[in-house]
Amino acid sequence: MELRIGAIIVILVLAGAAPFAATPTSNERAAAVPFEETKQTGLSGTTVRQVQNSTLVVPKAEAYYSQYQYVVGYYGVTTLVAGLKTHQQREFGRLLTLYVSDFSGTSVNVTEDGYLRMPLSESTGWVPAQEAFFVVNSSAHVPPQRTAIVPFSNESDAHSFARQYGGSVQQWEEVRKSSRGQAGRSTRAWQQTAQRRQAQTDRTVSNIRTSLNRSVSTVVGRDAPTLEAAIERAPPNTTVVVPPGTYQVDDLRIRKPLTLRGAGANATHIVGNRNGSVITVSAPKTAIRRLSITGVGSNRSGNNRTVKNVPVPKQSWKYRYYKTHGYGDAAIVFDSAGQSSVSAVQINTTSNGIISRRSPNLTVSNLTLYGTKRWENGFVGVVALNSDVVVQDSQFYGGKIGVFTFDTSRIVIRDTSMEGMMVGVLDLYASQLLITNNTIDDTWIGVYIETRSSENIMVDNRLHNNFNGIVVEGRENYFAHNVMVHNYHGILVRGQYSVYRHNLLAYNQIGARGMTLFPTNRVTANDFVGNQKYVQTIKYNILHVWPGNYWQDAPGLQKDGEKYLSRTFRPTGPVDGLMTRATSAATLARSPALQLLRQLQQLLPGLRSNGVVDPTPLAQPVHPQLVQEAQQNYNRTGEHEDADPWDYVHN
C-alpha cells in the first residue's frame, strides 16, 4: 500500500511541476502590454462601454505578479490601491512590476461636469509607478462618480494639473499607503444594502398601491357598451370596473391614468385577436387588476417588424437588445408608463407576458403566467428595459425566460416561483438587483447574472433540479443564504470581487464550478453536502483560496473547542476531491508522503496545484439544521424527474 501511495505522490509532484512558467524576477522589468490583453478590473462593463469612444478618460494600471500568469489591468489608480490590499499573496504571489498611465504631454483636463477628459486624438503612455507623480484629491472624477488619481511622468506636469484643478502631488509609496478605494464591500455593508433595498421596495409598493386606489367612474355594460368605450369615457384617475365575462379586444390602448379592475382571474377574461399585443399602456399611474389575459400574438420579438421610436439610436450597441426584447407581442405593454401596477392577473402566452419600456417604478404582484411547455416555443414572462420593476408574489411556468432585465437598475424579484423555462432570471447589463425568497425549479439556468452586471444581491432563494442553479459573472455581487439542491451545477463562480457566504450546496452533481481567471471572489462559510464533486475548476493554473467552508467527509482532526479541522482541504485535488466517491481517499490523505508534498508546495510555490484550497475547513456545518433537513429529504445527486409537466427539456 505504501508503495502505491509513493508512486501516486511521484506523479503528483511531476504534475505539480508542469505549471512552471517564465515570470519576470524582481530584478527584471516586463514591458507594458496593450491594455485590452490584460485581465481587467475596476469598472463594470456598462461603464467601460460608456467610456469607450468618448472623451472620458480613466487612468489605468498594469501589474505583474510572481504567481499569476496574466497581467492584471486596473481601471483607476484607486482600484489599484484597493486591489493591492485585497489580493492574497497565496493566489497572486509578489508584485513584480507595476505601470500606470502617463498623462504628461497630453491635453487632459477636467470639464464642467467634473469628469476627467482628453481629446480622442490623444493617447497616454505608460510610466513605472515608482517613477510617477500622482495628483490626488483634485476635482477630477471618473465614472461612476469616483475621485480620480491622475499620474504623470513629469513632476512639473503634475504640479501644473494640481494648480488648475486642486489637489496635491504625491509619489507612489505615499499613494499606496493611503486608504483610498475599496475592492468589494464588506459582508456587513452588503447586509445593510439588502435591508435598505427591501425597505425602499416596501415603500414604493405601498405608495403605488395607495395612489391607485381610485373611485369608480365607469362600469362596462352599465355605463358603456364595450371595454374600449368604457376606457374612452372614464375620466383620468378613476376606476373602470370590468364585470365577469369574456371581452374580445383589438389592440386595446390606455392613454390616461386609470385603474382597470376585473372580478377575478377566473371571472373576467380579456381576449386579444392573436395579432399583436393585447393591452398597451402609455400613461403613468395605470393599474390592471383582477382579470385574465389570453389571445396574445405569436410574434415573440421585434426583429422581423418595423419598429419606430426605439429609445436608443440605431447605431447604438443597445439597439438590438431593445428591438428584440422590447417590441414583440405581449399581454401588456407599458411604454413610458411609470408608477403603474399589475396585480392578481393571469396571463397565458406563447410569446411575452409583460413588457416594460422606460416605465420606472412598475410593480407586478400576484401574477400567474403560463408560457409554453417547451422553452423554444415561447419567450419572456416579464421584460424590464430601462425600467425599475418590482416583481413579487408571482408564479411563472414555462416559456424561455421568467424575468429579463436590460439596461436598468434597482429591479426587485421577491417571493416568486419559476418552473420549466430555459432561464428563470436573466440579468443583462443591469445593476443593483435584489433577488430574494424565490423558488426556481426545472430550468437550464435558475439565475444568470451576466458579465457586465454589478452590485446585485441574491439572498434566501431555493434552486432545485436545474442544470445550473446560479451562473454568476459581473462584478461586486452578493450571494448568501441560498439553498441549491439536486442541480447538475449548484453555482458557477465567475466574475470579480463577489461574496458567496452561508449558502447550502447539497446533492448536486457538482457543488460549485470555479470559472474565473481573476481569483478575487470571497467564498466562505458555505456548506457542501452530498455532492458528487465538491468543486470543479477550469483547467488553468489559477489558485482560488476559499477559506472557512464546511466540506462533508473532509479528513482532519478536530481538537477540543477548535472550530477548524487540523489540515488544509483541497476540494479539487486528486486526493481530497475523491472523498465523496472513494473510501481509500481518506487513507491516502493521511499518508506521510502526501504531507511531504504539501510541505514542499509551501516552500516551492512553483509546485503548487491549481484549483481550490480551503486553508481553514470547518469541522461542523455552518447551518446544521439545513444540512440535517437536506440529508433527510434527499438521497442521491443530480436532477430528478417530477410529476408536473413543467420541465426544462434538454435538446
If DSSP states are collapsed to H, E and C, what string results for 155-181? Answer: HHHHHHHHHHHCCEEEEHHHHHCCCCC
Q: Would you state the torsion angle of the CA atoms of residues 304, 307, 311, 314, taken in this order, to the nearest 10 degrees?
A: 70
Q: Residue 18: pLDDT above 60? A: no
pLDDT at 461 over 50: yes
The answer to whether residue 647 scores a pLDDT higher than 70 is no
pLDDT, tens only, 185-219: 788 889 999 999 999 999 999 988 888 889 999 99
Mean pLDDT estimate for the chain: 88
Check: CB of residue 516 under 8 Å from CB of residue 495: yes
- The CATH number given to 214-408 is 2.160.20.10
Rounded to a whole number, what is the largest CA-CA distance in the chain? 94
Beta pairing partners, 330: 352
User: Model-level pTM?
Assistant: 0.86
At how many degrees (to 10) do helices 592-603 and 2-17 cross? 20
pLDDT band of 179, cuts 50, 70, 90:
low
* Nearest residue to 347 via CA among 335, 363, 327, 330: 330
Q: Which of 61-75, 161-175, 181-195, 514-528 has the least mean pLDDT? A: 181-195
Residue 649 binned pLDDT confidence (cut-offs 50, 70, 90): low
Q: What is the mean pLDDT of residues 441-467?
A: 92
Mean pLDDT, rounded, for 562-567: 90
**Pairing, β 125-128 against β 95-102:** antiparallel
| Whole-number pLDDT of residue 69 | 84
Give backbone dihedrals phi and psi of 240, rounded to 5 degrees, phi first. Answer: -100, 120
Distances (CA, A) of 264 to 243, 268, 457, 501, 562: 9, 6, 34, 42, 59
Range(s) of the chain covered by CATH 2.160.20.10: 214-408
Residue 132 and residue 142 in contact, taking contact as beta carbons nearer than 8 Å: no
- pLDDT tens for each residue of 259-292: 999 999 999 999 999 999 999 999 999 999 999 9
Beta bridge partner(s), residue 418: 396, 440
Region 399-423: mean pLDDT is 95
Q: Could you give the percent of the chain with pLDDT greater than 70?
A: 86
Buried b (16+ CB within 10 A) or exposed e, 178-195: eebbbbbbeeeebeebbe
**How confident is the model over 500-550, as pLDDT tens digits?**
999 999 999 999 999 888 888 999 999 999 999 999 998 776 888 999 999
Q: Look at 217 and 495; give whichever has higher pLDDT.
A: 217
Q: Which residues contact 61 (CB under 8 A, 6 or more apart)?
A: 73, 74, 77, 79, 80, 98, 99, 100, 101, 129
Cell numbers 471572489 correspond to what residue? Answer: 521
C-alpha to C-alpha distance for 598 and 266, rounded to whole angstroms: 66
Which carries the bigger pLDDT value, residue 184 or residue 367? 367
Does the pLDDT value for residue 424 go beyond 70?
yes
Is it the case that residue 15 has pLDDT exceeding 60? no
Residue (of 187, 180, 179) closest to 147 by Cα position: 180
Report the run of H or E that residue 287 belongs to, with start and end. strand 287-294
Average pLDDT over residues 359-369: 97
Higher pLDDT, 85 or 595: 85
Residue 452's pLDDT band (cuts 50, 70, 90): confident
- Angle 155-165-49 from CA coordinates, rounded to 5°: 95
∠ CA 578-479-443, rounded to 5°: 75
